[in-house]
Structure 1
Amino acid sequence: MKAYQQILLTTDLTKLSEEVARKAVNLAGHFNAQITLLHVIQRHPEDFQGSVDTFEELMETNRTKINTFVKAIPIKNTTPMLRLSEDSIENEIIEVAKEIKANLIIIGSYHGDEVTDDNQLNINIVKEQAMCDVLVVHPDQSKTA
């Protein structure tokens, strides 16, 4: 088996996703792998209606959140990445995985394999379209409740 060297860790920056990230960091440590931490913000055109200030505020708020998230885990050998997407979150994950040449995508699932907690990400789409392995991690919700 070829060792995982590029891991794409998707996150919604919630407390539950912190446990998923800790598991990913543990796995990455075994392979001495690089982690790209991806948070996708789905943009709907009506959300901004041309307001550059609102867009900039959203990006800055999420930059702060992702940096805080990285420090809380902590995640070494990581590249935090924010994406604003008018496309689907699934397509953005697949695109980033291709860009970084990921050989493993890690996704947290809080309610089974199909749709994540926020009902925006369909994990099955990522699993079907990914050109690499996809690991779905189920956090222990009793620890974070």
Structure 2
Amino acid sequence: MGTYQKVLVAIDLTEEAPQVLNKAMEISKAHGAQLLLVHVVEPVGYAYGGDIPMDLTELQDQLDKAAHEQLTAYGDQYGVSKEHQVVSVGRPESEIHRLAKEHQVDLVIVGSHGRKGFQLLLGSTANGVLHGTECDVLAVRIH
């Protein structure tokens, strides 16, 4: 395994994020790599299939604001500077692919559940990231 220069860690903003962040910190420290902290907010329309005859802009803005606040809190806690924190809106795997390319990262770290049903969501994101990323991908098993 060569050394990693730039590591992208994609987290959801649940209580499980620290498990993924701790592993990312460990790896980036060991390699002296720069850490890019990423959270992708899914557009509200996706969750509701666009069936709701209402303006979701306000809800989306609230979600974006909350995501920025939480990511900033994690950034402060883990010593990741503001310019290395990214909140993006879109499909998680597509956004992670785009950001990995754009920032020329050589390792992407995501969390993965060994669960079924609704919790499969993050697992499928981890899987989606794996297929289509040109660099190494590390899926951290979430307990």
Cα distance in 2, alignment partners of residues 37 and 115 from structure 1: 27
Partner SS state of residue 117, structure 1 = helix
Unaligned runs of 5+ in 2: none
Partner of residue 74, structure 2? 69
Shift in Å, 1:50: 4.1
Cα distance per residue 1:20-67 (max 9 Å; x no partner): 101110110011111111111111433795454333322111111111
- Asked if the contact 2:113–2:122 (Cα under 8 Å) also holds between the matched residues in 1, the reply is no
Deviations 1:87-129, CA, capped at 9 Å, x for gaps: x3211111111011010000111226x9993615522222121
Query: CA 1:96–1:43 in structure 2 vs 1: closer, same or farther (change >3 Å)?
Result: same
Q: How many equivalent residue pairs?
A: 136
- 3-state DSSP class of the match of 2:138? strand
1:110/1:77 Cα in 2 relative to 1: closer, same or farther (>3 Å)?
Answer: same
**Aligned mates of 1:68, 1:48 — CA distance in 2:** 34
TM-score (norm 1): 0.79
Who is 2:63 aligned against?
58
> Taking structure 1 as reference, are residues 24 and 104 closer, same or farther at Cα in structure 2, changes over 3 Å only?
same
> Structure 1 stretches of 5 or more lacking a match?
none
Counterpart residue number, 1:25: 25
Contact 2:5 2:31 survives alignment (8 Å): yes
- How far apart, in 2, do the equivalents of 1:115 and 1:128 lie? 21
1:8 aligns with 2:12: no
- Deviation (angstroms), 1:16: 1.4
Instruction: Report the Cα distance in structure 1 between the residues aligned to 2:117 and 2:31, rounded to whole angstroms.
Output: 29
Task: Give the root-mean-square deviation of aligned CA atoms.
Answer: 2.6
Match of 1:119 in 2: 121
Distance 1:118 1:40, change over 3 A: farther
Return the structure number with greater helix share.
2
2-side partners of 1:29 and 1:128: how far apart?
26
